[in-house]
Amino acid sequence: MASQPRALPPDPTTIFEALNSYQRSAALKAAIELEVFTGIGEGKADVESLAQRCQAKERGIRILCDYLTIQGFLSKDDHRYSLTPTSAAFLDRRSPKYLGTIARFMDSPAHIARLQSLASIVRDGGSLIHEDGSADEGNAEWIEFARSMAPMMAVPAELVAERVGASAGVPWRVLDIAAGHGLYGIAIARHNPNAEVFAVDWPQVLEVAHENAEKAGVSARHHLLPGSAFEVEFGDGYHLVLLTNFLHHFDRQTNERLLVKVHRALRPDGRAVTLEFVPNADRVSPPTAAAFSLIMLSNTKAGDAYTFAELEAMFRNAGFARSELHPLPPTPQSVVISHKRSE
Amino acid sequence: MASQPRALPPDPTTIFEALNSYQRSAALKAAIELEVFTGIGEGKADVESLAQRCQAKERGIRILCDYLTIQGFLSKDDHRYSLTPTSAAFLDRRSPKYLGTIARFMDSPAHIARLQSLASIVRDGGSLIHEDGSADEGNAEWIEFARSMAPMMAVPAELVAERVGASAGVPWRVLDIAAGHGLYGIAIARHNPNAEVFAVDWPQVLEVAHENAEKAGVSARHHLLPGSAFEVEFGDGYHLVLLTNFLHHFDRQTNERLLVKVHRALRPDGRAVTLEFVPNADRVSPPTAAAFSLIMLSNTKAGDAYTFAELEAMFRNAGFARSELHPLPPTPQSVVISHKRSE
């Protein structure tokens, strides 16, 4: 399989731009913090009124907004800025699809700082930060994740609930492993009024999931199993076990050990539902899914964005009969549905 | 003037990718430090031999190289990596065009850290770091700049020497203000064996320029005027005054004060030669030149990427008769030639 995504003639500008890319992250994060997009959405279209709205100096606002225009997040016409379809939908606080909070987690000082020693991380083959993966109990990072990344999960949570046929209304026991914000289990509970969801995560993280279950009106069917997914007693008889954005933190052996436990918790006709960034076998496409490996290199000791063949092998080794891959457009992720027994 | 560089349908992936862009800078910098490109250029094409060459773990090298492939800096074919035309020309240490050193300056810990408080910088309207601009005497940053950014200057220095007609060989006195690495003055001295160059910069920075003049074989015609461009005595009778990558650090009034001094130092038929990132009047195109403003926002109190109209006005206010704009493709910069008298 060959991959030459952009075989351009020699051009140092691409190097210059890549070395400046950290500015792109910083500018978008700063604009979100300053509510630049919300201000423009409210009609503060020129530098002067926008600076006033954002309590910032005009020089700062003008240069930031020009930069955001260059990066495609604003339009500019005769000294007036306007939102693009993307920034109007996702970066204006007044939009129901607002997801500006994700900048807090994705570009946290800890994440930025960690990447500054990437050469050392590559030398060592993994992150120096978390000796046992990045899922340490009480890790404040996972509370921040549960709170700030939730808006990013609304669309994939809906798509997963649809994909597994939740709305058929069959009485289900659903185990939501490393539930975090809880949105995947909650979406199933919303689609299926006969589903009982059991959410596993650290106690403080489960508080966030529980809040979200209350907001969604499903808290009576949303139960908490606090503790490590590797240690807590799951119980059994589950129709579905959700493994959303979890397996990428660990090596294959660790995952297989967990999957044996998942296999045991499922009914004979049960399914494990894995949401992941799943690159093609070439590991360099599609770009967003494949690039996720770098985050796992810098944040974990042995995690990865696993290919479907690798995920399928882990499930097979844990006793599952067969697995199916379903991309979830428009998200960059895929869902893998693994059946305990064949047919 | 309208500018809508990328009016796409709503797509949160573009936000996700922008917030992850800091990884692009970090990955390229790490690969340069680890000599990944040089190793691949030497024929270490698979993960195992490349990991050995770079004294790194296979997991780290595999994930880093996949990421660089996604970003267009490597190609991958059947588990073997190869250089793209751009990385072969500029990122393999063995190439005469190698410019990997620029990562040290562009992505220095100080630059990265500064951008993490961009929201505060926008609020305050400029950098909190350098009270009087970023050109403080003895600033180690400018020694690093002179050493690490020099390879990026080879092409524009040649283009400027050609543009001003240096090879005609007319006996010239050339003043090189804020010479840094000295390459612009040195290129003129190489093209014109009858040119005497006088380089102005802080003493420790001029040591770098002098080394470069010796390497180029022009040190006998390369003279040093140590000190601040705003304070040092230039002398007079200059045919050319070079202002390369300097005016962007300061506000217009400060620049005009300097340009009055430059005007006085020139012969009646003399020219000021300004190399700058010059955006169009819309300030959002062309992208690389326009985006440079953000670096000036975060690194200076009042600097900017000035439009040609703004530069022309500064020169006119300082007494210059007329200015001409000449883009310097393939570089993202332009040269402005300002004539002391009209004709």
Does A1 contact B57 at a Cβ distance shorter than 8 Å? no
Amino acid letter for position A276: E
Chain A interface test: which of B67, B124, B295, B307 (most A C-beta within 10 Å): B67
Summarize pLDDT for A222-248 with one digit per residue, the tens: 999 999 999 999 999 999 999 999 999
Does B23 contact A125 at a Cβ distance shorter than 8 Å? no
Query: Please, which pLDDT band fits residue A11 given cuts at 50, 70 and 90?
Result: confident
Query: Please, which pLDDT band fits residue A127 given cuts at 50, 70 and 90?
Result: confident
Tell me what the mean pLDDT of segment A201-216 comes to.
95
Query: Please, which pLDDT band fits residue A10 given cuts at 50, 70 and 90?
Result: confident
* Residue-level pLDDT at A316: 98
* Residue-level pLDDT at B82: 98
Does B55 contact A123 at a Cβ distance shorter than 8 Å? yes
Chain A interface test: which of B6, B13, B46, B70 (most A C-beta within 10 Å): B70
* Residue-level pLDDT at B138: 53
**Residue A136 above 60 pLDDT?**
no
Q: What angle do CA B170, B176, B181 make, to 5 degrees?
A: 120
User: Residue B236 corresponds to which tokens in the numbers above?
Assistant: 């007079």
Q: How far apart are CA B19 and CA A102, in angstroms?
A: 9
Tell me what the mean pLDDT of segment A106-134 comes to.
83
* Residue-level pLDDT at A142: 84
Mean pLDDT of chain A, nearest integer: 93
HEC letters along B77-106:
ECCEEEECHHHHHHCCCCCCCCCCCHHHHH
Count other Cβ atoms within 10 Å, centred on residue A86.
21
Could you tell me which chain B residue has the CA closest to the CA of A121?
Answer: B60
User: Which backbone phi and psi does A283 adopt, to 5 degrees?
Assistant: 65, 10
* Residue-level pLDDT at A134: 46
- The DSSP bridge partners found for residue B334 are B276, B327
User: In angstroms, what CA-CA distances link A293 with A3, A301, A308, B298?
Assistant: 17, 12, 14, 31
Out of B4, B58, B72, whose CB is closest to A5? B72
- Local mean pLDDT, 10-residue blocks, chain B (343 residues): 52 93 98 98 98 98 98 97 97 96 94 94 82 54 87 94 96 97 98 98 94 97 96 97 97 97 98 98 97 95 97 98 96 96 78
- Residue B145 contacts by C-beta under 8 Å, 6 or more apart in sequence? B105, B180, B181
Considering only residues 213 to 272 of chain B, which have any Cβ-Cβ distance to chain A shorter than 8 Å? none
Q: Are B260 and B319 in contact (CB under 8 A)?
A: yes
Does B12 contact A123 at a Cβ distance shorter than 8 Å? no
* Residue-level pLDDT at B267: 98
Q: In what order do the strands lie in the sheet with A80-83?
A: A80-83, A74-77, B2-3
DSSP character string of A89-101: HHTSTTSTT--TT
* Residue-level pLDDT at A145: 87
Q: For chain B, say whether A282 makes contact (Cβ under 8 Å).
A: yes
Out of B13, B66, B125, whose CB is closest to A290? B66
Does A56 contact B123 at a Cβ distance shorter than 8 Å? yes
DSSP character string of A12-58: HHHHHHHHTTHHHHHHHHHHHHTTHHHHHHTT--SHHHHHHHTT--H
* Residue-level pLDDT at B6: 46
Does A20 contact B106 at a Cβ distance shorter than 8 Å? yes
Tell me what the mean pLDDT of segment A172-181 comes to.
97
* Residue-level pLDDT at A14: 92
Q: Are B204 and B138 in contact (CB under 8 A)?
A: yes
* Residue-level pLDDT at B133: 41
Summarize pLDDT for B216-238 with one digit per residue, the tens: 999 999 999 999 999 999 999 99
Q: For chain A, say whether B52 makes contact (Cβ under 8 Å).
A: no
Could you tell me which chain A residue has the CA closest to the CA of B333?
Answer: A13
The ipTM assigned to this model is 0.93
